[in-house]
Amino acid sequence: MNIKYITSEMGFRGKFPKDYPYMRVFESQIYYLDATHLPINEILESDKKYEGDLWWNIGKGDFTKPYISYLFNNFQNTIELLKTKFDNVYIYQDGEIGWWNQVDVKLQVWWYNQLSTSDKIFVPNETDVDFYKGMFPNTKIGVMRSVMTDDGLDKSKFLRKEDRAIVSGPCTYEYNGFPQIILASNLNIPIDIPPMGQDRMPKDSWEMAENIGVNYLEYMTWIDWMYNLSRYSYGFMLMNTTASGSFALNCAYHGIPCIGDIKADTQRILFPELSVGTYEIGKGLQLLKKLKNDKVYYNDVSQKAKEIYDLHFTKEEFLNILNKDF
């Protein structure tokens, strides 16, 4: 493995410092690899060549962003061009498995061709592998472990636990917030909803929150998010679009029991007893009642999640898995 460069639509150039305020899963992976991030348009528009491999990260919602249309219109053979500049080119589909089916069919065909000509495709979850192996039988498929680094966190800023719940996102199809709120309401405690991105807050969010009796959080940096998250006692991640599963990962770090989607590797590995189908709200309710009424069970789930996190979601484990995959 020789991944020295990462590219995406972000304008950031260089290596991420440990105190980077938006140190999410993607940025943590780059940080652990000690790789250099370069904007995709900068690479394509220059004649410069590089020594080492390139990982191109395709995030959630990228196919609706202008830069994908720009690549489609100006660089039809994007991967072939990148291969003239790097030793190998890998694509990481850091998003829901069928996201690219939501755009114009011409763009779908173009993206299929890019994936087909890449040296390897990485996905965030084991449940994604079968789809990609069937779609791309001649391309190697691997799983990229989701991780987060706490190197930039000041643990003295963690908050005292409150009897409070948080769901994984707003009331949209993607985040499936409303069923999660209904489930969490059985606790009869305050419920908070994060916006999950500056551009993902529905226009009527504040009115919706008031109507259903929950609190919408202001958008915040990842570092502030981790400080704020430390105060919660219950988490819910029953999303329609399974991606890196960072919410369950963040909850486990703080020992917050999270009832979540079994398709996400982070949820299934860190909270095996609390993993259900996205729409298995009945099962989720039974688990929630047990967490609420059985403190021994609650503490056991919390402690196991922290232990699994410390064992399987370290920098060393991330690099070991990646090296074995190669």
DSSP letter for each residue of 61-110: TGGGSHHHHHHHHH-TTHHHHHHTTSS-EEEEEES-TTGGGGS-HHHHHH
Most confident option among 84-88, 124-128, 191-195, 205-209: 84-88
Ranges 203-212, 295-304, 307-316: which has the least confidence: 203-212
The mean per-residue pLDDT over the stretch 209-235 comes to 89
Comparing C-alpha atoms, which of 254, 121, 247, 228 is closest to residue 177?
247
The mean per-residue pLDDT over the stretch 268-290 comes to 98
C-alpha–C-alpha distance, residues 214 and 185, integer Å: 9
pLDDT at 22: 92
Distances (CA, A) of 215 to 181, 224, 229, 257: 11, 17, 14, 20
Shared fold status for 3-144 and 155-312 = yes
pLDDT at 286: 98
Record the tokens describing residue 260, joined without a space.
């979540």
Residue 243 scores a pLDDT above 80: yes
pLDDT at 294: 98
Ranges 1-5, 17-21, 78-82, 95-99: which has the least confidence: 95-99
Residue 245 scores a pLDDT above 90: yes
Record the tokens describing residue 300, joined without a space.
């056991």
pLDDT at 158: 98
Average pLDDT, the chain: 92
Q: What angle do CA 234, 253, 20 make, to 5 degrees?
A: 120
Residue 210 scores a pLDDT above 70: no
Q: Is 3-144 CATH 3.40.50? A: yes
pLDDT at 82: 97
Q: Classify domain 155-312 by CATH number.
A: 3.40.50.2000
* Percent of the chain with pLDDT strictly greater than 90: 78
pLDDT at 195: 78
pLDDT at 293: 98
pLDDT, tens only, 157-203: 999 999 999 999 888 888 898 999 999 999 999 999 987 664 555 55
Confidence band for 218, pLDDT divided at 50, 70 and 90: confident
Give 286's contacts (C-beta < 8 A, 6+ positions apart).
none
- The b-or-e profile of 47-84 (16+ CB within 10 A means b, else e) is eeeeeebbbbbbbbbbbeeeebeebbeebeebbeebbe
Distances (CA, A) of 98 to 62, 128, 293: 12, 10, 39
Residue 207 scores a pLDDT above 70: no
C-alpha–C-alpha distance, residues 86 and 54, integer Å: 6
Ranges 100-109, 125-134, 249-258, 281-290: which has the least confidence: 100-109
Q: What residue spans define the domains of the chain? A: 3-144, 155-312
Ranges 55-69, 147-161, 284-298: which has the least confidence: 55-69
pLDDT at 209: 64
Confidence band for 213, pLDDT divided at 50, 70 and 90: confident
pLDDT, tens only, 61-78: 777 788 888 899 999 999
The enclosing H or E element of 20 equals none
Confidence band for 298, pLDDT divided at 50, 70 and 90: very high
* pTM reported for the whole predicted model: 0.93
The mean per-residue pLDDT over the stretch 122-139 comes to 94
The mean per-residue pLDDT over the stretch 18-38 comes to 95
The mean per-residue pLDDT over the stretch 100-128 comes to 91
